């Protein structure tokens, strides 16, 4: 018999096979075919073929009652008896194997039941999930996620074990009366494990979705973004990383992921718009720089024909123009340096008032800067500070005036430091500010060097030495804090 015929015979049920041999005239041929059918299903060894074997057995016994040749009856009966013996032997082995598997499954179920009784202890021994550091979720949510996820990991492990035991039990070739008690025991445990698992997943998913929606409402519902773009990007990444750590349901995971993707697209649009604005500003900055350079060149040419008073007023006017013009910090510094070269070409500007009047004017300018500078950006405040510093360097003052002015100038530098940090936080590309950051840091360090030199001078008064020492200590602390915040911004 070829392979295809054997396969067809295995796929044929008993009733169909009996109908196919009903027309056989010879009882010998009919019985022989029945015995071949039984042998084939016995050799296969699975539950369904063996069941067919037992069903065919009744038909086969009836066939032995028919008129058969004596020789064939003896041969067929011997074959039938051998098959029954083999079946009983297989059944004994199968029963022993199934009994062993049943006992093992029973032990596994009992072990799970025992573990569930001390589940609180197992949960405490389970490691806490690692929530991304920059994830903008409340402390209460962090506590909920850590507590619920620990329990979820334990409950989910039991759920997987129960499913595996159920599948293994279903595949065993044992009787219904032996299987059913084990199934009942598994179902009883499942009624505790699976509802709790669903409850925890629902609770964690709702909390995560609420946190994502709150984050989106605060930062993306309005036209303007309150937070720097690089921080928003970092927060979105942390939310996505958190979703991979938590056990979320399908709806919460997919909806939150879609919403965060939309927010990411909005950031990309803001970046694109910002880049376009920067290109336009760059062109405008270049035009303004060329225009002011022309005026500085013109003032340089006309300087011999101007009185010192008129020349000084024009220099001040140009300083104000540089301050109020739309320029980059490097451009403003370059223009101020060019103007300083003209201003210092014939020595210091002659004082037009007494030392007291100079002190009052400089102090008034610094106070105005401190008040108005609260609403200015770094570039505007930095430009005006340079004007005041140049005025201080070129004015005649008494020693008592210098101490007061130096303290106020250091306060202005601290204000500038805060403004520069605001620029760093609001920039998409921090690299654009590298030059301004380096220049400002070098400027502060120059001031520190001056303080150190002043402290090392032997003819300093006690009052002035105490002032420089105080300013040196405060500025070093602020510079260290400044460097720390800049490094943090660049790393993110």
356 within domain boundaries? yes
**Which of 283, 315, 350 is the endpoint of a domain?**
350
131 within domain boundaries? yes
Domain range holding 327?
A: 273-350
End-to-end CA distance of the chain: 75
**Which of 350, 375, 390 is the endpoint of a domain?**
350
The mean per-residue pLDDT over the stretch 109-126 comes to 85
454 and 363 fall within a common domain: yes
139 and 228 fall within a common domain: yes
pLDDT at 140 over 80: yes
The mean per-residue pLDDT over the stretch 26-51 comes to 67
Distance CA 322, CA 336 (A): 8
421 and 491 fall within a common domain: yes
Q: What percent of the chain is predicted at pLDDT more than 90? A: 7
- Output the pLDDT for position 254: 92
- Output the pLDDT for position 209: 92
The mean per-residue pLDDT over the stretch 198-203 comes to 92
The mean per-residue pLDDT over the stretch 291-296 comes to 86
Q: How confident is the model at residue 350 (pLDDT cuts 50, 70, 90)?
A: very low
- Output the pLDDT for position 39: 74
Q: How confident is the model at residue 346 (pLDDT cuts 50, 70, 90)?
A: very low
312 and 362 fall within a common domain: no
Distance CA 173, CA 98 (A): 6
DSSP state of 474: H
Shortest CA distance to 383 belongs to which of 430, 446, 319? 319
- Output the pLDDT for position 203: 92
- Output the pLDDT for position 200: 92
491 and 382 fall within a common domain: yes
12 and 88 fall within a common domain: yes
Q: In the chain, what is the greatest distance between 2 CA atoms, to the nearest angstrom?
A: 149
Residues belonging to the chain: 492
pLDDT at 114 over 70: yes
- Output the pLDDT for position 376: 81
Mean pLDDT of the chain: 77
131 and 187 fall within a common domain: yes
Distance CA 92, CA 87 (A): 9
Please give the C-alpha separations between residue 487 and each of 136, 229, 438, 441, in angstroms, as whole numbers.
21, 17, 13, 13
The mean per-residue pLDDT over the stretch 130-139 comes to 85
User: What is the per-residue pLDDT across 62-79, written as a single tens digit (0 to 9) for each?
Assistant: 777 777 777 777 787 888
Lowest mean per-residue pLDDT among 9-18, 118-127, 171-180, 473-482: 9-18
Lowest mean per-residue pLDDT among 2-16, 215-229, 364-378: 2-16
Distance CA 345, CA 349 (A): 10
Asked whether the beta carbons of 319 and 387 are under 8 A apart, the reply is: yes
Total domain count, the chain = 4
294 within domain boundaries? yes
- Output the pLDDT for position 400: 64
- Output the pLDDT for position 206: 93
pLDDT at 5 over 60: no
Q: How confident is the model at residue 205 (pLDDT cuts 50, 70, 90)?
A: very high
pLDDT at 242 over 50: yes
The mean per-residue pLDDT over the stretch 445-464 comes to 64
120 within domain boundaries? no
129 within domain boundaries? yes
Q: Which string of DSSP letters, residue by residue, matches 433-444? A: GHHHHHHHHHHH
Shortest CA distance to 59 belongs to which of 13, 15, 23, 5? 15
Q: What angle do CA 375, 376, 379 make, to 5 degrees?
A: 165
Top mean-pLDDT range of 37-41, 185-189, 403-407: 185-189
Distance CA 111, CA 116 (A): 9
- pTM equals 0.49
The mean per-residue pLDDT over the stretch 24-49 comes to 67
**Which of 315, 331, 350 is the endpoint of a domain?**
350
374 and 489 fall within a common domain: yes
Q: How confident is the model at residue 348 (pLDDT cuts 50, 70, 90)?
A: very low
Asked whether the beta carbons of 224 and 486 are under 8 A apart, the reply is: no
Structure tokens at 258: 């879609």
Q: What percent of the chain is predicted at pLDDT more than 70? A: 79
166 and 198 fall within a common domain: yes
Lowest mean per-residue pLDDT among 16-25, 47-56, 83-92: 47-56
Measured torsion, CA atoms of residues 160, 166, 167, 170, in degrees rounded to the nearest 10: 180
Asked whether the beta carbons of 373 and 384 are under 8 A apart, the reply is: yes
Structure tokens at 266: 């909005």
358 and 485 fall within a common domain: yes
pLDDT at 406 over 70: yes
- Output the pLDDT for position 436: 73
Distance CA 67, CA 20 (A): 20
38 and 134 fall within a common domain: no
453 within domain boundaries? yes
Lowest mean per-residue pLDDT among 208-217, 227-236, 315-324: 315-324
The mean per-residue pLDDT over the stretch 272-293 comes to 83
List all residues 6 or more positions away from 70 whose beta carbon is below 8 Å from its beta carbon: none
61 within domain boundaries? yes
Lowest mean per-residue pLDDT among 124-133, 198-207, 251-260, 471-480: 471-480
Lowest mean per-residue pLDDT among 63-67, 110-114, 261-265, 430-434: 430-434
164 within domain boundaries? yes
Structure tokens at 318: 């140009």
333 and 371 fall within a common domain: no
């Amino acid at each position: 018999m070829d392979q295809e015929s054997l396969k067809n015979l295995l796929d044929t049920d008993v009733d169909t096979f009996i109908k196919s041999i009903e027309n056989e005239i010879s009882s010998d041929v009919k019985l022989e075919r029945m015995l071949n059918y039984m042998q084939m299903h016995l050799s296969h060894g699975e539950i369904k073929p063996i069941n067919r074997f037992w069903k065919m057995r009744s038909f086969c016994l009836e066939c032995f009652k028919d008129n058969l040749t004596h020789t064939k009856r003896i041969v067929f009966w011997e074959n039938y008896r051998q098959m029954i013996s083999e079946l009983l032997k297989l059944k004994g082995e199968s029963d022993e194997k199934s009994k062993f598997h049943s006992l093992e499954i029973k032990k596994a179920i009992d072990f799970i039941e025992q573990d569930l009784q001390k589940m609180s202890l197992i949960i405490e021994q389970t490691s806490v999930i690692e929530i991304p550091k920059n994830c903008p979720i409340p402390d209460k949510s962090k506590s909920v996620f850590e507590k619920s996820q620990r329990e979820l990991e334990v409950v989910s492990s039991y759920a997987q074990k129960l499913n595996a035991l159920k599948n293994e039990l279903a595949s065993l070739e044992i009787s219904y009366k032996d299987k059913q008690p084990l199934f009942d025991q598994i179902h009883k445990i499942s009624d505790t494990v699976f509802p709790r698992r669903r409850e925890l997943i629902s609770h964690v998913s709702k909390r995560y979705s609420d946190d994502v929606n709150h984050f989106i409402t605060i930062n993306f519902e309005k036209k303007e973004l309150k937070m720097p773009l690089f921080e928003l990007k970092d927060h979105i990444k942390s939310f996505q990383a958190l979703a991979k750590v938590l056990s979320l349901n399908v709806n919460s995971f997919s909806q939150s992921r879609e919403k965060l993707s939309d927010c990411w697209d909005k950031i990309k649009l803001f970046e694109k718009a910002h880049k376009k604005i920067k290109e336009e500003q760059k062109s405008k900055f270049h035009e303004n720089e060329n225009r002011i350079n022309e005026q500085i060149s013109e003032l340089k040419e006309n300087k011999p024909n101007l009185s010192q008073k008129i020349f000084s007023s024009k220099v001040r006017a140009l300083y104000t123009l540089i301050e109020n013009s739309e320029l980059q910090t490097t451009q403003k510094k370059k223009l101020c340096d060019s103007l300083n070269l003209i201003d210092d070409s014939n020595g210091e500007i002659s004082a037009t008032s007494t030392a007291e009047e100079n002190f009052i004017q400089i102090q008034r300018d610094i106070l105005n800067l401190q008040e108005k500078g609260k609403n200015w950006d770094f570039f505007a405040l930095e430009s005006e500070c340079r004007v005041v510093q140049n005025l201080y360097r070129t004015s005649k003052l008494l020693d008592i005036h210098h101490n007061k002015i130096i303290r106020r100038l250091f306060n202005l530098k601290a204000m500038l430091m805060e403004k520069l940090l605001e620029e760093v936080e609001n920039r998409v590309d921090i690299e654009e500010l590298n030059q301004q950051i380096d220049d400002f840091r070098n400027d502060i360090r120059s001031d520190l060097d001056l303080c150190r030199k002043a402290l090392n001078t032997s003819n300093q008064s006690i009052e002035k030495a105490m002032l420089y020492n105080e300013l040196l200590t405060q500025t070093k602390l602020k510079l260290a804090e400044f460097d720390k915040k800049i490094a943090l911004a660049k790393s993110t």
